[in-house]
Amino acid sequence: MKTIKRHSVAPSKFLMMACILSFGQRVNGRKHFSNLQKSLSIHYSSPRQSVAFQSVASISQSKRCGGTTDFRNFSIRTISKSSELSSNNEGYIYNGADWRTNPSLNETYYVPSVILPSKHVHSMMQNKGGENKIAPFLASHMKEFENLHPRIKLVRDLESTGSDSDGNRKAILLDNRICMQTNSKRLVESEPDPGSEICLSAAFPGMSIEAVHELASKSATPGPIFPIAVKYTQQPLQHILSKLLPEEAQPPPTGFEQIGHVVHLNLKAHHVPYKELIGSVILDLLSPKIETVVNKVGEVCGPFRTYDMEVLAGKPDTTVKLNEDGVHLEFDLRNVYWCTRLSGERSRLLSEINKGEIIADAFCGVGAFCLLAASKLGCTVYANDLNPAAVLSCRESAKKNLKRSAGSVTVNCGDAFDFIQNLGSLSRLPDHVIMNFPLDSASFLGVLRWWPVLDDMKDVNFHLYTFARGDDPTGDCSEDLDDKFPPRDASEVAIDLVADGLLPEGGAIEASRNRRSLLDRLGCKVKTTEVRDVAPGKVVICVSFRVTKALLKVMQGDFIDF
């Protein structure tokens, strides 16, 4: 267990003074204000780092309409240097159990307000067409309140003073930056009406003249200071982790994959020593929707493209239930390959398919795309996968999802090479063949030479996924690049991989690069789509092309028409 010490800071003096100010404690004279500023600057230090709480007070003098009582509004902003009690401070023990006791997690901010008649509140909160001059000064623009969930309430009720008007007036929270400094030129010695432009300008020196004018036109007056408590449960996950993790584990993890009730992490090496802490925080913030947090161990490998995982927090249950665009899936993450980020690609590919067509999926996995095509478009789908666990999940999901559908899914468990070869013997060739095995899908294309070439044969649309990297002119293979073969981008490399799988170089096929034109001469109509990044410079490309009679003839050695 790694132990890091931290001072526990409880600035009670600061909070007490803030409360006094928020109730309008009268302070007279420049000397008193100077002393007040000094008393509101509290410094804490440790051998490793200094943390300073600074408070900025902005004073406005005014007089209540028809009365003799002076009041003063103070805006107090808590600033915590060095990431607010940075995790480098000493005195705090980090583990997966007691992190909730970290004193820096829950924050309190003191923000100013303006009081308005209730009838004007709605118009003050709207900003259609950018005409509202007050909108830029609302507290919602404070960076401390960004990405909070739930968001803070900008409109607040006022404490009752027994006046009949209390129920007809509301307070609107403002950005505390408008009270960070006092503009002496805008203060006056007299005590004007608190709803006047002079009073409002003095109370909110950072506010634009146009905004002050709009407030004055709606009978607004400076309001009290509101303490806004922000619980850790409202704050973004990354913000919480940045406070808890020590310097050597910064920056915190930036993303994860959610699969049903499971969060799947792929932690970097410097995060691994704190994996239980990270898992515990994620489970706390995302429960009850999330029940299990796992971390990938090792690399995707083996014939089934699966990987080992360890449970960091929650129950050790990795059997998930998903709903993708109305299709219900259930499978065990430990036994099959699944990528939530491919959901958008499945939708894109589905848009290229017509109702009632025949689809063949050579690497179907748990069958997400197959079930979408069958249930939404009434397609006849022939599916295949080498993984028995994936095939079982696909079959069970087909039973549940296709009870009232015109489509059908027939699932085979076997080698994709045999599956693709057998497609050629169907009475009707598929309209589309899906080959989503980026690691080595192009190597299966050679099996097409066993397809019979019939006079009435129709073209078949293939959609093949492959990893690809663009050529690096400065790399080890740069000597192979010359004027004849300029550097290729990732899409051109992917097309060449497909061309090599269909028409290996040698014999009548000349050695070449940039072979799109060769395929297009055979009617293949090649096009590419970049699907996603998997590593720096490495992407997944979907190469779509047509398998034509001319292509099959050349693959079978008939070069008469080539």
Report d(CA 230, CA 232) in Å as an integer.
Answer: 7
**Residue 467 pairs with which residues in a beta bridge?**
540
Report d(CA 1, CA 91) in Å as an integer.
Answer: 15
71 in Cβ contact with 24 (< 8 Å):
yes
- End-to-end distance of the chain based on CA atoms, in angstroms? 70
- Angle formed at CA 348 by CA 358 and CA 407, multiple of 5 degrees: 30
Q: Which of 362, 339, 366, 359 lies closest to 266 in space, CA to CA?
A: 339
156 is in an annotated binding site: no
415 is in an annotated binding site: yes
Report d(CA 119, CA 218) in Å as an integer.
Answer: 9
Eight-state DSSP code of residue 500: H
Report d(CA 189, CA 294) in Å as an integer.
Answer: 65
346 is in an annotated binding site: yes
As a whole number of angstroms, the longest Cα–Cα distance in the chain is 107
179 in Cβ contact with 204 (< 8 Å):
yes
436 is in an annotated binding site: yes
386 is in an annotated binding site: yes
Q: Which of 278, 272, 262 lies closest to 298 in space, CA to CA?
A: 272
273 in Cβ contact with 262 (< 8 Å):
no
493 in Cβ contact with 476 (< 8 Å):
no
Distance of CA 43 to the CA centre of its chain: 37
483 is in an annotated binding site: no
Task: Outline where DSSP puts E strands in 316-364.
Answer: 319-324, 327-332, 358-361
Helix/strand/coil (H/E/C) assignment for every residue in 407-456: CEEEEEECCHHHHHHHHCCCCCCCCEEEEECCCCHHHHHHHHHHCCCCCC
Binding site listing for S-adenosyl-L-methionine: 346, 385-386, 415-416, 436
Binding site listing: 346, 385-386, 415-416, 436
